[in-house]
Structure 1
Amino acid sequence: MPEQMIDLTKLYAFEAWAKRKGYDLQAQGDGNFVDPLTAAAWDGFSSDEVIDLELEDQPKLVARIREDSKYAHQAEMMMKKGDAYPFPVAIVADAMGYVVAGGLGGCYRLVDVDLYAVVDGTEISLSVPRKKTRGAR
């Protein structure tokens, strides 16, 4: 039976994730990862098996880019492209503070987005409103 071709989009997504998590991405000439932990992570990541966790019943996390963010222009770009907006996100560990993964930029700081849980079609704000500050005189 011939070997199945690797989905490069999935592989690049895995490599980006694995690099952030500190996995060893060294691979052999046949494309297999040398480190057994990385190989196991890839096997799980690339698996076509889907476990039914009834995720449809779970709240979904979405974000809107704040108007005062340096990334605010990306909101209009996403809507013009027809991308989902607000966009689905996940919270990830990041030493630089870019803990909101998703959207056009790929990752954002909490100060750049407003987070919402979508429960039964209703958005529930998870962000604390910012106080307007006056400039020093």
Structure 2
Amino acid sequence: MRAIALSTVLILLLSEPVMASCDGQQQLGQVDYPSNSSYFNAKASAKLDEITKETQDKGDGYLVLEFNLFKVAGDKKQQQYDMWLANRRIDRVKQYLSKLHVAKPIVTRIKTAAAAEQRQVEILWCAQPSTTEQPVNH
């Protein structure tokens, strides 16, 4: 498992800048969580099923799973727990999408400066221009 994770990180580091900000990102949905939980409900599962079908018809691009983390000032243990929980929530969504055999790349991102406490993973679509060269007419 660690070898797969390490190879994924290396591929992302050595590839073109996939994680750069994407122009025209589209919000596909979100997965909400109860307080202090990393388990989502059947409604969220249905939304993820819908997103999987929707992305099959999209062109080149990738999914972004984003969690906005509210930073608790001063409490180091709380910050560590919140970061652990944010990662766990993103991992649960990513695992679910992997079981559905999502064919698009999935990038995860945790933003650590949210203005308020949030308990959802946002699912975004970032389209990429086609890498095929278009003929130039002179």
Give me the TM-score of the superposition, normalised by structure 1: 0.22
Greater helix share, 1 or 2?
2
Give me the TM-score of the superposition, normalised by structure 2: 0.22
Structure 1 or 2, whichever has the larger Rg, is: 1
